[in-house]
């Protein structure tokens, strides 16, 4: 079992990252690559777009607080899925060839919560989300298929979403009445590209500034002709 977070800041963590600790973007691949199941080039880890981070949190907050582990589709260009981790911090999906994974870990600040997550406008929300992450996250390592880990907590992989608006459902992660809120998000994240047909495992290992640790694991089976986000 993964270690439990013990500190006050750590106990607040699940609400910040629920549904969005990991995300997957299933993007078209060049035909020559997608049709060659034997091609096993190493995955490419690249920076992601700030807008995708905001979209991931919009979809996460639009879902019920308790959802079945799997993946939900994002309203973004291309074929984009986002995992819904279970209590064991894992999720799994089946996807078509040409899969790119958007993996991130971060925080939102909004206009309905108490400090330290309250922000009246976009500037305050962006500033408070970034401040919390920088004080909380010491290391964030991404490992793809047991290759050497890549440190995401660097300027290259830092993300800051524009302010977004979302309508919360009745059973929402904030535990409040249905309403429309504004928020901005900060995270460190990356796109994992060049995955080939077969079984892939992506792990994100978090070390907090209080030296507490947790690992998030996402598995994807890339199968020609199949695309299912609710395994």
Q: What is the pLDDT of residues 38-89, one digit of tens each?
A: 333 478 898 988 998 998 899 888 888 766 666 666 665 556 666 667 778 8
Least confident of 14-23, 91-100, 183-192: 14-23
Are the CB atoms for 119 and 145 separated by under 8 Å?
A: no
Indicate the domain borders of the chain: 8-221
Map tokens 């993300």 to a residue: 159
pLDDT at 138: 97
* Residue 158 confidence class, pLDDT cut points 50, 70, 90: very high
Of the two residues 80 and 9, the one the predictor is more confident about is 80
pLDDT at res. 122: 97
Q: How far apart are CA 43 and CA 195, in angstroms?
A: 6
pLDDT tops 80 at residue 174: yes
Q: Mean pLDDT across the stretch 165-185?
A: 94
Q: What 8-state DSSP symbol labels residue 128?
A: H
Region of 145 on the Ramachandran plot (φ > 0 left; ψ -120 to 50 alpha; else beta): left
Is pLDDT of 114 > 80?
yes
Could you report the per-residue pLDDT of 86-113, keeping only the tens digit for each? 778 888 888 777 777 788 899 999 999 9
Q: Are strands 180-193 and 213-222 parallel, antiparallel or unpaired?
A: unpaired
pTM value is 0.80
8-state DSSP, 69: S
- Residue 163 and residue 182 in contact, taking contact as beta carbons nearer than 8 Å: yes
Integer Cα distance of 187 and 190 in angstroms: 10
pLDDT score for 78? 56
Range from 24-38, 97-111, 120-134 carrying the lowest mean pLDDT: 24-38
Contact between 228 and 216 (Cβ < 8 Å): no
**Cα 105 → chain centroid:** 6
Given pLDDT bands bounded at 50, 70 and 90, which one contains residue 21? very low
User: What is the mean pLDDT of the segment spanning 126-152?
Assistant: 94
Name residue 137's beta-bridge partners: 208
pLDDT over 70 percentage in the chain? 71
CB half-sphere exposure, 4, CA atoms < 13 A: 4
């Amino acid at each position: 079992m993964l270690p439990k977070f013990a500190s006050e800041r750590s106990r607040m963590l699940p609400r910040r990252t629920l549904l969005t600790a990991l995300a997957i973007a299933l993007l078209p691949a060049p035909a020559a690559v997608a049709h060659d199941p034997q091609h096993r080039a190493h995955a490419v880890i690249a920076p992601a777009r700030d807008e995708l981070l905001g979209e991931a949190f919009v979809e996460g907050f639009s879902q019920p607080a308790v959802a079945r582990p799997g993946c939900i589709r994002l309203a973004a260009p291309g074929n984009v899925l986002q995992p819904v981790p279970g209590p064991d911090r894992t999720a799994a999906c089946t996807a078509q060839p040409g899969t790119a994974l958007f993996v991130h870990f971060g925080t939102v600040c909004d206009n309905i919560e108490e400090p330290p997550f309250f922000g009246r406008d976009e500037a305050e929300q962006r500033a408070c989300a970034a401040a919390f992450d920088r004080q909380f996250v010491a290391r964030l390592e991404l490992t793809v298929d047991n290759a050497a880990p890549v440190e995401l907590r660097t300027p290259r992989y830092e993300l800051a979403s524009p302010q977004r608006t979302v309508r919360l459902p009745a059973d929402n992660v904030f535990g409040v009445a249905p309403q429309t809120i504004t928020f901005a998000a900060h995270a460190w994240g990356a796109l994992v590209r060049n995955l080939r047909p077969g079984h892939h495992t992506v792990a994100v290992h978090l070390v907090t500034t209080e030296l507490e640790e947790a690992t998030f694991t996402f598995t994807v089976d890339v199968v020609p002709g199949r695309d299912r986000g609710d395994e």
